[in-house]
Amino acid sequence: MADAQLSPQSYLKYAFRDQHNLVVLFGAGCFSAAFASPLPLLVGVSGELLWLLVGPRLPAFRTWVDRQTNAQYLARAETAIEGALAELPAGDVKRFLALSQNVNELVAAARERLPAREVELSLQGLLELRRTFLDYLFLGQRVAALVDSTPNAELEQEAALLQDSYSAERELTVRMTIRKALTLIQKRIVQQASLSSVNRSLGLCLEMLEKALPYLKGRLKDRGFTQLAQELDGTLAEVGSAETLELAVDDIFSNPGPSVSP
């Protein structure tokens, strides 16, 4: 978050670039030119140096800078999300928009109940939740593209026929050909079973993220509930990153597969 990332130099930069500060300097320069006297400019520069010395240390100014920085960050994130949605099919886009609507309702309820600082922290968590959901949707598209349309029973039947042929064949060259075909079929069966497992985990993660929002909205009705950001962090930790399943998919197609028994 912004207040954890900004350095003292960053607050100094914002203090110098503040539009009110620049207006005062420009006005002092204009007065000096108009009256042909360096005094207004000297006063303006002195005030500027005093502001740069004191302003970046003021808690109120730092809070204002943090809010401005967070708002800019959230705006950039929304622009990136809109671009990503253009690459998803309509069904996934609809699902994501439904999640975002629930997020908006949760934010509205939080603004009525929680301190402004807690709401700001929660906005960061909700953005991360939406981006995680988006990551899982993209992973779902990848998995869907890798799923074999051939029924598993049909693959297993083909593998059984090849196994019988391999056992009955005595010609070495033919046996090698059959063995290669059988290895490929068995590898496809293992890969599809593993992909099905990943797909189930992926679907579970998406559902957990969707169900978390109505649950948290219900928690806000409890007057003693104030740790929305912490609850969001816990949910994200429980669901985990989509990268874990991404690596699992990579492993599925990097393993050599089963060997054929002689």
Residue 16 lies in a domain: yes
pTM of the complete model beyond 0.85? no
Residue 26 lies in a domain: yes
Instruction: Please report, in tens digits, the pLDDT of each residue of the chain (262 residues total).
Output: 444 445 555 766 766 566 566 666 666 567 566 666 666 656 556 666 665 666 666 677 666 666 667 767 767 877 888 888 889 999 999 999 999 999 999 999 999 989 988 988 899 899 999 999 999 999 999 998 888 776 777 777 777 877 777 777 778 887 788 778 777 877 878 788 888 899 999 999 999 999 999 999 999 988 888 899 999 999 999 999 999 999 999 888 886 655 545 5
Distances (CA, A) of 136 to 37, 123, 210, 242, 245: 66, 20, 12, 6, 9
Name residue, tokens 């490929």.
184
User: Which of 70, 81, 75 has its CA nearest to residue 5?
Assistant: 70
Q: How many domains does the chain have?
A: 1
Q: Which domain holds residue 11?
A: 1-80
Residue 7 lies in a domain: yes
Residue count of the chain, please give it. Answer: 262
Residue 36 lies in a domain: yes
Residue 17 lies in a domain: yes
Residue 62 lies in a domain: yes
Residue 49 lies in a domain: yes
Distances (CA, A) of 121 to 71, 74, 109, 220: 12, 12, 15, 15
Residue 44 lies in a domain: yes
